[in-house]
Structure 1
Amino acid sequence: MKLKKIFLPLLAALLFAGCSAAPEAQAPSGKFDAEVDYLIVGGGAAGIASAVEAADQGIENIMIVEKTGMLGGAAVYSGGIFGGVETEVTKALDLHVDVEDVIAEQQREKHYILDEELTRLTIESAGKTIDWMIDTLGVQFQPEVIVKDGYGTLQTIHLVEGEGSGLREPFEKAIADRAIDVRLNTEATALIMEDGRVIGAECVNENGEPIRIKAKATLMATGGYSANGDLMAAVAEQNRYFQTSNLAYQTGDGLVMATAAGAGVQNLDQVQVYLREVENRTSQFPYMFTIFVGQDGRRFMDEKRTAQTWNQEIKDDVVDLYGRTGVDYFWSLADEASLQMMQIADAAKDHEGVVVADTLDELAQKTGIDAETLKATVDRWNSFAAKMEDEDYGRTTQFWFPISTGPYYALKTTFFSSVCHGGITKNQNAQVTRIDGSVIDGLYAAGEVTTVTNSNGYTISNAMTFGRIAAQHVAASIQATK
């Protein structure tokens, strides 16, 4: 399958028509309020890794502008999951997994939409990034490397002690130790260009004042766009069905600024989705239920597919359901026996939003589902459970619970968007490219703002790897001009 590339120099106008003024790449007229060697837009994992590497490569004047009030980004709220082979941890365990097997599995799971060269670079570098985190940042990893459900079949998953929050202190210490200039609550609004080259950015500081920062090189490390509903729908119309479970600041600023400067983008229809309650975007309670039915009372998917592996298929199934039923939710169903077996029946009765009924007819009345359709769907599922074979959707899970013992439970459910797998195109030096592959001089990108070159367990390490690669290329370029 060919990569889906699009050139959207007018993306900002498309996205914000009728909503707000679109940012445009700015000409260099006017004075600059600060001049630096390296400007990093975004203080998440990619930006921090790049700043640390840049300082260690000898770049002296580095600035991070971060629109929130803290460093760390989404990484410090994550599960602290890092895939990698041939690390200090795996070598201590005498554990060796072939990198070719990892690359092959990554491509299969993403249906070969991943750029071959960049994916290879990502996976081959992931172990080195983990070692760098241990040796340079002082990140503590658990001593075991595991196969994690939903993250592929290979024993490559490293877990940070304390999950994502275990990254916060090493991140902050590494930045402080190198005396890197950090401007919190400072939002970049546009890139500044001169003769086709990016030479800095316009920002708004913590006092609401516009400032202009000149830089020899600029890194976009602004994260994804799943919290921007208008942007989600504009780049891929079917995404309008999905709310986000991400932090509110994941609004696609870098994507819009870079495309205004001429950057190419690709795979913007690829968004990973996770099961959540309609009224509680952080709850994973629906995973405990047995089957899902639409408002039409019918099953529509294999409920036990993992979001990481089957994200696009799940997303397509949900889009089809919502288009058919006209509502943007479905119902997770379970019975008393299954929830008692999992020892959560009492919790389910007390859980806000759970509909409980003594009979399926009563459950249908409370949920607005046609009773005869619902009962037929449940009867069909029960026949599958009895023989442990799903003739409709090929479900293979061992949890073959029938829905036959009252009371019955229903929970209004949907899928929320999480990781964006599309974004700015870049090359092996983390330089931002146009649609024809040519480089936009002075502009680099790393992290979720760029198009995905990884799959399960490599998202944060991908961000940090390309953040470091960008810094190394910037350092070499600056040195070459001296």
Structure 2
Amino acid sequence: MANREGDVLIIGGGLAGVVTAVELLEQGRSVTIVDRAEREVFGGQAREALGGMTYCGTPQQRRAGIEDSADQLYEDWIRYGLFSEEDHWPKAWARAYADHCVEDIYFWLRGRGLKYLPVITWGERGLNEVGNSVPRYHLLWGGGYTLATRMIELLKPHESRLTLCFNHHVQGLKETAGRVSGCHGVVEPEGIEFELSAENIVIATGGVGGDLGLVRKLWPPEWGKPPETLLTGAHKFSDGKMHQQIEQLGGNVTHLSRMWNYATGFHHPKPRKADHGLALLPPRSAIWVDYRGQRIGPEPLMGAFDTRWTCEEVSKQPYGYSWSILNRKVVEKELMISGSEHNPALRDRKLFTFLKENILGNKRVWNYLATEVGDVAVANTPEQLAVKMNEIAGTSEVSAETLRATVEAYDREVELGPEQTTDAQLKRIKKLREWKGDRPKVCNFQKIADPKAGPLMAIRQFILCRKSLGGIQTDLEGRVLRADGNAIDGLYAVGEASGFGGGGSNGVRSLEGTFLAGCVLTGRFTGRALGKG
């Protein structure tokens, strides 16, 4: 059994844990990071993230003519998050994000060599109420992969005070004289026991989305019964076990039933874990239909307006999944698969290829979906498409007649044009195209059955479990709190493990782009507090 001593022990080697370590090391502290995963995936789920971050009042916003402020972001955040009166610490972290996101995240990352694309997009606008009142979504050049690898590079100058322990499965925390003083577990796969000690312990183990059994137990009751098929895009070791450890120590874990899932998941054709899924950044011009081929309504589903409501509506469908009906032109212009893996030009910072795909159309994504993904059907007519959809689903529920009627009804509304249509989705498309940051990725009233834009494509979509909005309750120094508001000595939490601060800083719904940034913010705040002793 190995026993090591140090100033701070960080359990979890994802983005939040690494940023915490950077802060501590730069202040002269000694740090041990213990991670269950392999060295090759050091940096965690951030390595696979697209890399978007929400900011207010940045130079890029001002250059684009966007008037924004910390107060405006906070107002949007609190309104959209549907906080309760009891959410003191979640709201305190929301305020901290709004006040500090530019200096402590945007400029801090720029000062460490990271860059943002010049175009700002407008995510999570809200459906029946306002979400983001202005465009705020800044995309890192290089995506989440470059963010994670750059943070790891910042550790290297301090290697003499840094210990990295990979394949270490933490199975419990230990207390000494009323203070959390370390952890114990086994090295995998050998099963060698280990014990680690430090003056302070930081929990950075992510959320609960990697354990679909736990996700089902926590399923929001207003969403109905969890669908039979759920997919996960969370880290495989984000299993909620450390949350249970914290509760056993008397820590307050709150709002775990608040999840940030996506209704556009499909089975990964080369899965690296059980129920591995990928998510579409949903095309705005696709028709969202149910298991019969009928458009879901009366309020049509549409991505990037109210993500939580969309998940709720799909969860309530008889089979818990939906289909997107679109064509080649829509796919190549609008559709992205979330994450660094399927955006290599962004990840590898290949500017020419990136511009080519975004201006001339992304043929690579069409070919990938059409030839490799089992949840995708391609055909020339609605009738042929219905047959293939039934083959994928293993049923005969999709009606060719219904599917054709759905497509034709939508296309008739497209023919009416932006000023005459009464279709809610098309009205939103008109609104989307008014913002210059979104216009290049939204078709200009595109018919689905247009023969020049074919062939047709249908994508079967499931709920993809991704992020936990709740977690371990912390104060603004990252200290883990008991239900009575007192801190547990020696114990801290950051990132998704803390619900990105305070046990749920996003509330019920997120404005998007707050997750990677939340990892950076909580890591920096906690690292600074610990560094000062």
TM-score range, shorter chain: 0.7 to 0.9
Assess, with a 3 A threshold, how the Cα gap between structure 1 residues 139 and 190 changes in structure 2: closer, same or farther. farther
Q: Indicate the SS of the match to 1:54.
A: helix
Aligned to 2:377: 355
User: d(CA) in 1 for partners of 2:285 and 2:64?
Assistant: 37
Match of 1:140 among 111, 114, 128: 114
Deviations 1:103-148 (A, max 9, x none): 122233333467321100122121222233344xx23213746244
Deviations 1:412-434 (A, max 9, x none): 22231222212111122211122
Assess, with a 3 A threshold, how the Cα gap between structure 1 residues 43 and 294 changes in structure 2: closer, same or farther. same
> In the TM superposition, what is the alpha-carbon distance from 1:85 to its structure 2 partner?
4.2
Deviations 1:439-467 (A, max 9, x none): 22221111011223244222222212212
Match of 2:265 among 273, 276, 290: 276
TM-score of the superposed pair, with normalisation by structure 2: 0.72
1:474 to 2:530 alignment: yes
> In the TM superposition, what is the alpha-carbon distance from 1:42 to its structure 2 partner?
0.9
Aligned to 1:163: 143
Deviations 1:139-169 (A, max 9, x none): 3213746244458453544443322222244
User: d(CA) in 2 for partners of 1:87 and 1:337?
Assistant: 34
User: d(CA) in 2 for partners of 1:123 and 1:285?
Assistant: 25
Q: Indicate the SS of the match to 1:436.
A: coil
User: d(CA) in 1 for partners of 2:38 and 2:254?
Assistant: 30
Query: 1:65-144 maps to which residues of 2 (within 5 A)?
Result: 65-70=34-39, 71-85=42-56, 97-112=68-83, 115-130=90-105, 131-135=107-111, 138-142=112-116, 144=118
Deviations 1:363-385 (A, max 9, x none): 44442213444444445434444
Q: Indicate the SS of the match to 1:178.
A: helix
* Structure 1 contact 187–204 (Cα < 8 Å) conserved: yes
User: d(CA) in 2 for partners of 1:154 and 1:82?
Assistant: 14
Assess, with a 3 A threshold, how the Cα gap between structure 1 residues 122 and 203 changes in structure 2: closer, same or farther. farther
* Structure 1 contact 129–461 (Cα < 8 Å) conserved: no
User: d(CA) in 1 for partners of 2:236 and 2:373?
Assistant: 24
Deviations 1:210-251 (A, max 9, x none): 212222211111112212111211222655653112343333
Aligned to 1:20: none
**Unaligned runs of at least 5 residues, structure 2:** 126-131, 270-276, 335-360, 391-395, 431-442
User: d(CA) in 1 for partners of 2:266 and 2:194?
Assistant: 42
Sequence identity (%) = 23
Assess, with a 3 A threshold, how the Cα gap between structure 1 residues 92 and 397 changes in structure 2: closer, same or farther. closer
* Structure 1 contact 45–72 (Cα < 8 Å) conserved: yes
Assess, with a 3 A threshold, how the Cα gap between structure 1 residues 279 and 175 changes in structure 2: closer, same or farther. closer
Aligned to 2:180: 198
User: d(CA) in 2 for partners of 1:279 and 1:382?
Assistant: 31
User: d(CA) in 2 for partners of 1:340 and 1:205?
Assistant: 46
Aligned to 1:460: 516
Q: Which AA in structure 2 matches 1:133?
A: L
User: d(CA) in 2 for partners of 1:403 and 1:258?
Assistant: 51
Query: 1:420-439 maps to which residues of 2 (within 5 A)?
Result: 420-439=468-487
* Structure 1 contact 142–158 (Cα < 8 Å) conserved: yes
> In the TM superposition, what is the alpha-carbon distance from 1:287 to its structure 2 partner?
3.1
Q: Which AA in structure 1 matches 2:428?
A: T
Q: Which AA in structure 1 matches 2:238?
A: Q
- Count of residue correspondences: 439
Q: Indicate the SS of the match to 2:278.
A: coil
Compare 281-290 and 154-163 and name the one that shifted more. 281-290
Query: 1:243-282 maps to which residues of 2 (within 5 A)?
Result: 243-274=231-262, 275-278=264-267, 280=269, 281-282=277-278
Compare 395-404 and 96-105 and name the one that shifted more. 395-404
Assess, with a 3 A threshold, how the Cα gap between structure 1 residues 459 and 335 changes in structure 2: closer, same or farther. closer
Match of 1:318 among 314, 317, 330: 314
User: d(CA) in 1 for partners of 2:474 and 2:520?
Assistant: 15
Aligned to 1:22: none
Q: Which AA in structure 1 matches 2:104?
A: T
Deviations 1:46-100 (A, max 9, x none): 11121121223343x3211111123212223222333334668779999873111
Assess, with a 3 A threshold, how the Cα gap between structure 1 residues 377 and 100 changes in structure 2: closer, same or farther. same
Assess, with a 3 A threshold, how the Cα gap between structure 1 residues 304 and 372 changes in structure 2: closer, same or farther. closer
* Structure 1 contact 145–156 (Cα < 8 Å) conserved: no
Match of 1:55 among 25, 33, 36: 25
Q: Indicate the SS of the match to 1:456.
A: coil
Q: Which AA in structure 1 matches 2:74?
A: I
* Structure 2 contact 478–525 (Cα < 8 Å) conserved: yes
* Structure 1 contact 243–417 (Cα < 8 Å) conserved: yes
1:332 to 2:324 alignment: yes
Compare 68-77 and 311-320 and name the one that shifted more. 68-77
Q: Indicate the SS of the match to 1:413.
A: strand
The root-mean-square deviation of aligned C-alpha atoms, in Å, is: 3.5
Query: 1:335-346 maps to which residues of 2 (within 5 A)?
Result: none
Query: 1:183-194 maps to which residues of 2 (within 5 A)?
Result: 183-194=165-176
* Structure 1 contact 286–411 (Cα < 8 Å) conserved: no
User: d(CA) in 1 for partners of 2:478 and 2:268?
Assistant: 39
Assess, with a 3 A threshold, how the Cα gap between structure 1 residues 319 and 35 changes in structure 2: closer, same or farther. same
Q: Indicate the SS of the match to 1:177.
A: helix
Q: Indicate the SS of the match to 2:498.
A: coil
Assess, with a 3 A threshold, how the Cα gap between structure 1 residues 262 and 385 changes in structure 2: closer, same or farther. farther
Query: 1:281-296 maps to which residues of 2 (within 5 A)?
Result: 281-282=277-278, 284=280, 287=283, 290-296=286-292
Q: Which AA in structure 2 matches 1:397?
A: I
User: d(CA) in 2 for partners of 1:116 and 1:286?
Assistant: 30
Q: Indicate the SS of the match to 1:146.
A: coil
Deviations 1:181-212 (A, max 9, x none): 11122121111134653221113235431212
Aligned to 2:353: none
Aligned to 1:212: 195
**Unaligned runs of at least 5 residues, structure 1:** 1-30
Q: Which AA in structure 2 matches 1:42?
A: G
User: d(CA) in 1 for partners of 2:20 and 2:124?
Assistant: 29
Aligned to 2:274: none
1:440 to 2:488 alignment: yes
